[in-house]
Every structure is written in structure tokens, then in C-alpha cells.
Chain A
């Protein structure tokens, strides 16, 4: 009897364990199958190219078509054409893309996929994304503190003059009381003049001081003219480089793709945004607000997953007018292609633009930021060098042309130059004198290189 009981309980435990492992492996199997066959179009909890899959079995069951869903998976167009299924028609009308038939999956495999999808819980978003809007404030802070300095100094000057006026009145009153002579026509200006004439040495010091100060100030201000460091204009869409290039690691040249072919790095047109945002409708910071602007610009209807067309078959678009952050005057020629293409100089974007992957909107970095980034491991890996002059000034250009070393075997462009240098012994000797080749030695300091 006891033996029987033990045997029975062992059997039960064994069955339970088996059932448990089976169901576990079942859902694992489902995950594998889902990722291999469905995930490129379907997301369990979001609409993508295909509709979201969580609860889909329930929906078909509610519509009384529990059996038909397996037919749909193995051959959607056959089921749709047969006209038996309302659900099939609804999905067919919803998505412009037809589903790829999955006839190679057995019924059990499809069931395991549904089990996996229905039990799927989206991973919790990583904490510590930080505020994306940090450096939006930088420039406005600096401006407002300037403004307060002026108000405070104005009040101080006012108080100073009020005190001086009171002192003068008092002096006059004292003079009148003591019966001394006090010239009533003497103003503050004349008394100050008298004092200055009496203390001529102090006067001279003052004049020299003021002249020196204003000269230095004038020189400094003139040097700031045409220097755009820290310039960050507002933009029509709150795009974040920090999210796209920093967190998700999208290369600069994915969006600014004309950098390799043109003198302009290019402001990406909306179709580049739509490569992803055709199915990404919500961002982490602003929700759907900012991405809706993209959809409006591209003429995209996110509910229908299709573009709005006019009667000529063209998309109804409204270009986004971005503000340009990096301005160079017309009298200097600069080409991105020459600097960043791998067949030419192959310079990393961050040498001139700084750590843009940490900024939100496009912004001109300051030279200190670029130097700080160049000193980090990542910066050194990218071959950045440190410079001293402000960004986008001529001093900065020629400083880099003088400092940056060139490896003449690094690209076809330099190999061709090397070949031509070797034809002239005197030039060759002069350039290779110090075992170091710079852009300056290859003509990078010629005026007509950039000004013509």
C-alpha cells in the first residue's frame, strides 16, 4: 500500500516536472520561432509593418474564426481570396504590405508562437537616460547674467550720484551756517573739474587707464566678430543628436550623407527620417508631438501607413525649414568631401564639430569642448588633435593644417600626391626633412587654396 502511494506520488511529481519543462521549452521555442519568422514585420505589443500580435488569437476567436487563423498564417492570400474570413479582409485592408506566407510552420509551431507572444512583456526602459534638454539652457543663462550686471551697475551709479548730490547740498548748508563763502553757480561738473586740475597726476593715470581699457576691449570685441562658438539656433523640430547618434550609435554620415560627396555635409531631407519613423511613431522625450511634425512634412498618414498623394501622384509634402548652425563666409571655400572621405583626408567629424553625440540640437562647439573630447580615450582613438584658436576661424584652420600629421600611404589621394612629390628631388627633400608631413607642406597654407 505504502509502496503504491510512493510510486503514485513519484509519478505525479515526474509528470508535473515534465509538464513544467515542456511548457517552458514550448515558450522558448516560440520565442525562437517568432524571432526567426515574424519579428522583421511584427512586434508583440506595437503596430509595425504588420499589426501587433499580442491577443491576436483572442480576436480571431471572438470573431468565431479560431481555426481560420492557422490558414491565414500558412497562406494569407488564399484565405483572403476565398472570402471566408472577415478578419483576413480587415488585416488586408489595414496594411499596404501583404504578409509573407509561413507555410513551412507546423500548427504546433504557430501555437507556440502565439503562446510566446501572449505572455510577452516589453522590457522596462533603461533608467538614467538623463535630461536631453541640458545644454538648451547654456547660452540663455550667459545672456541673462549679462543683463543683470547692467541693471546692478546702473543702480550703483544712480546711488553714487544721489549720495554725491546730498553731500554737496550738505556742504552748501554747512558753508551757509558758518558764514563762509559758497559759490551757488558752481555745479557738480565744475567742482569735479577743479578737483581733477588740482590732482593732475591722478587725472593722467585715469585717462591712460581708460584709453588702455577701451583699446583692449575694442580689440577683444573685434576678435569676437564672426566667431560663432557656442551658437545654437532654435530648430522647428526638437531633434536630439544625443538620442540618435549617442544612445543608438547611428553614424553622423547616415543622415549627413552628402558629406562624402559634396562640399556640404547636408541637412537630411525628411525621407531619411522616414526610413525609421515610418514605423516609429513615438519618442522617449516628447511622445508623438515631434514625430508628428515629421509625418506632416513628409505627407505621411501614420494610421494608414501610407503617403498622402495629390492628383498627379506626387506626395503632398511640406519641407521643414531647419536653421543652419555652422556658417562660413562666402569668401572662403571649404569642402566636406575633401576632408572626411576615406579616399582623401579621412578626418573624423568630431575633430571640427566636437562631441555632437552628447548635444541635443545642432550647435557650434567651443574649442575647449573639442580639446576635452580629444583628450579622452575615445577621442584619441579617433585620432583627434588639440588646437587653440576658436572654431570656424581662419586661425583655427591654418593651425590644424600646420599641426596635423599626414600618413601618405593612408589614401589614394595622398598616394598620388606622394608620387608627384617624388618626381622633384628638391621638393621631396624639403618635405621629408623632418620626417613629418603636414598639410602646410603640401600647399595647405597657400592663400588661393581657400580664397579665390
Chain B
């Protein structure tokens, strides 16, 4: 059995097409995902924008606007034109979700709007300029280049959302300022009313970011997990080939091995262990690449991640053993079936893009049994469970589902292979 194990290991590691599909292909696909989804998170991150600010008399006289702008800079500017500088503290712009708006702006003071316009036309890095009107309200003008970039979320990740935040802040500030000013003109007594004060401080309609899962949801991570699942299923080929090479009706090699005095069980066991090890290695390589190159998190739970790889590779080989043992099919048909299964089941687990992911979610909601019997979905869930849940219960539940699949597959394969003799060769 040891000799069969070593020989199968050698064969698997020297088979070029297997090496490509099981070691290179996941890395290539991960790299592709990195290109596609790598900027997805950055798109929603605040990015620091360079803006010019027209430091004229209106700006210097607008204390509220200056406090607002100071709150959105890491190093607030103090234009020389504003001799009577405000000593009031900047507004608190740190949100509960951890987004620090002091990273939003980097301002450069200019004398007038003409200078500001010249600057944004000359330097594409300056996104626009901010000017304060006679009423002390800020207004934003953005450059043509910024308009173009703002529509390219992939090329300029974070710019659209940062512009939206800035625009939203100015809009809110201006509305509240105008409201307060109007009330001061028409009903000053109302300013002393606690109800009014509360209403003015509140920001109705805003969404507070809270975290319910173990990790911040990462849209891209699910694709990588589905890729790991596909890699595991593709590795069924190892087991299929191993089983086929022991079957007398499929090749002369199988006939020769069937005539050997080493029992079929020991030959199959040696081959199974070698194939399991190869699958494990291919998943480990893919996992390390995904973790350290693509920077996809597995929640820092390395022991669970390792167990997930062990279980996924074991189940894949059990299913491969079952496919390899199917009677009345040629070895080529079995390998073809393996590839077809891997690809089709990966579609249902969401590997092939947002449409497939939506299909996967739909299946999970409306046909949970289909999701439960889909090994690629379950392997995907293994990593998903590790990342998102505080508790290990969902993870071990998924482990249980996969091990049940593996045991059933091996039992069926045993029925097919046990004392196999042929009516035809």
C-alpha cells in the first residue's frame, strides 16, 4: 500500500495537465478575481481629495464653514488672508462606523476663483475648489477631469464616494444654516425651545453602520471561496484516475494491476491517500495565494481553515472515488463527467460572477436542499462560516454535511468496486 501511495503521488505530481488545472488554474483565476474585485472595497473607502479653497473675505468671515472644512482635514489650513482666525474646535466628524472624515480633504488656499479655476485646470490632482458665498455657505466646483474620473469607480476607487460625502456634508450644512437663519429672522424665540434644538441636531434619514458578523462583509471573498470549492472538486480527477487505473475493463494497466496479489482495497487505499494529499496540497497553495497575495481574510482562524481544507479535500476524493467506480463508463467519460460536475456545481455556488452569486443566494433561500447536497456550495460555506460567524457551530455543521456526503460516496463506491469481476472486458 505504501508503494502504491508513493507511486500514485509521483504519477499525480508528474501529470502536467493535472498540475495545471489543480495548481496553476486556481492561481490564474485568483489573479483574475484580484483584477476584477481588488478595487471593490477601495470603492467604498474614503479617499483624500485635494481641493483649492478661495480664501477671500467671505471665507474668512464664515466661521461655521471654516469649522466644517477644518473637521474634514488632517492638517487644517490657516490662510494668511484670514487675520481673525477662529479658535473654535472643529466639528466632530468621526462616525460610529469608524470612518474618519479628517482624511477627506487636503486644501490649498488661493486668492480668488480665477486662481482656483486656473489651478484645477493645470493640476488634475486638484479635484476642484470650494468657495464661500456672501451668505457664508460653501459651494463646491469640480474639475472636468474629476467629473470624468468620478464615473470610473475602478480607475479611481474611493473618489465617487468621497465626492458624495463632501457634497452631502455641504448640502446638510447649507440646509441647516439656512433653516436656522430663517427661524432667527421669523421666530427667534423658537431657538430656545429644546424640541427645536434636538430637531436641529438630529440627522434623520442617516444610516448608522453596525457590525453583526465576525468580520466586515467582503463581497469579493465569496468568489474566492467558491474558487477554492471548484479547485477541490476539480481535484476529484486524481481519485477518478486512480480508481480507473485499477479496473481491468478500462485498460491493460488496470488488468495488470487486477492480477496482482495486492488486494484491490490496499491498492485503492494507497491511491486514495496519495490523491487526498495532492488535493490538500493544491488547496493549500490556492489558499496561501488567496490569503497573502489577494489579501482575502479567513478570519485569522488558521486551525479551522486547515480543518476545512482537510475536509474539503477528503470529500472531493470520496466523490472522485465514487465517480471512478461507476460501472459501464470509460475512463475518459469519467474524467469528462468530473470536469462537467465541477463546472456545473460551481455555477450553482456562485463562482461565475454576480449573476451566478445571485443564483446561489436564490437557491440557498428557496431550495436549501439543493444547496445542501451541492458539495461546492458546502465547501464554499466552510470558509464563509469561518469568516463570518463568531460561533463554530455553523462551521462544524457544514463539516458534518460534507463528511456525510463523503461517507455515502465511499459506501456506494465500495458497493460498485467490491469483488468486481466483469462479464465483458
Answer yes or no: are A and B bound together in one complex: no
B: residues with CB less than 8 A from A are: none
A: residues with CB less than 8 A from B are: none
